[in-house]
Amino acid sequence: MYRFLLTPRWLLVGVFVLLAVGVCVFMGTWQLSRFESRVDEHKAAKHTEATAAEQAPVPLAGFLPDSKAQVPSDGSGRRVTATGHYDSARQLLVPDRRLDGHDGYYVLTPLRLADGAALPVVRGWLPGTVPAGAAARAAAVPPAPAGEVTVTGALQYEESAGDNGVPTAPGALPTGQLGIISAASLVNLLPYPVYNGWITTTEAVAPMKPVPPVAPPNSGLDLKAFQNLGYTGQWFVFAGFVVFMYFRLARREAEARSDAALGLLPPQGPGDAAADAAAGATAGPATGPEPESESAAGSAAHVA
């Protein structure tokens, strides 16, 4: 009954089905591995975050020997110490940041180190919107300590748009404000080299609140992780659909061949009957009564 599956046409269809199912299974497995990888990274980040808070602070040079170095994978969240002078004249406020469910802004003050480069230091968070004028800012934001200071804080990766509450498109901001904490953003605002990465202090002067460290980018169960899981399901559904359609088409083909072998033709539709009737009317009968003129001529000859 299903010997037709061995014909060239159906063999080609079978090969196509096998290739399609193989591709779908491979893509689904790859997406699942991406999701599992993000889960493992999330667990590792949580473990690192828990252990980093218990470890003693280390000098900043242990992770960032100079301003060109990048924050290593094991450096995010680690407590470090840095010694230098705050450049209060170039202090920046970072708007649209939330803490404990409230809107506010970060207070970022560059810390000039011995090599002349600056380390961005977030000294704390304040609620509300950024004050408009310089006088209002001075009244709302506690001043940075003068002279040489040693700052202790958690080392953080540079920010990127859309990660960890960072606005997707900060846009143009007034003077004295910063949209994204990164060396690329600060290099246009500060006249000296800037370290890659920044630190958030473990303690803050009231009324500021310390900003808790965040996990490294692409290490949490964010929307991208669950997109991988959703794509996994889609690819496996596609594979099942291809197999279902193959067997359905094969069954329909087998039923059609069986009906043809038994002489079971599909019933004539109303359109076909109308077409046959029209054809018969056009052709007329094969034989019929003679025309009236010919009959009259025959009768006259018989009388004569």
Q: What is the identity of the amino acid at 103?
A: D
In this prediction, residues 168-193 reach a mean pLDDT of 86
pLDDT tens string 55-104: 788 999 999 999 899 988 778 888 999 999 999 999 999 999 999 999 99
Contacts of 25 (CB under 8 A, 6+ apart): 235, 236, 239
User: How many angstroms separate the CA atoms of 77 and 150, rounded?
Assistant: 18
User: How many angstroms separate the CA atoms of 73 and 67, rounded?
Assistant: 17
Beta-strand ranges (E) seen in 52-160 are 58-59, 79-86, 92-99, 102-112, 118-127, 148-156
Does residue 6 register a pLDDT over 80? Answer: yes
Q: Dmax over Cα atoms in the chain, in whole Å? A: 151
pLDDT tens string 103-135: 999 999 999 999 999 999 999 999 999 988 888
Closest to 165 measured CA to CA, from 94, 91, 227, 226: 94
* Average confidence score pLDDT of the chain: 82
User: How many angstroms separate the CA atoms of 279 and 268, rounded?
Assistant: 16
The pTM assigned to this predicted structure is: 0.61
Cβ-contact 34, 227 below 8 angstroms:
no
Tokens of 68: 């060109």
Greater model confidence, 248 or 259: 248
pLDDT tens string 197-235: 999 998 999 999 999 888 666 555 666 778 888 999 999
Cβ-contact 60, 79 below 8 angstroms:
no
What's the pLDDT at 220?
A: 58
In this prediction, residues 173-202 reach a mean pLDDT of 91
For the ranges 144-148, 149-153, 265-269, which has the lowest average pLDDT?
265-269
pLDDT tens string 14-35: 999 999 999 999 999 999 998 8
The confidence band for 274, taking pLDDT boundaries of 50, 70 and 90, is very low
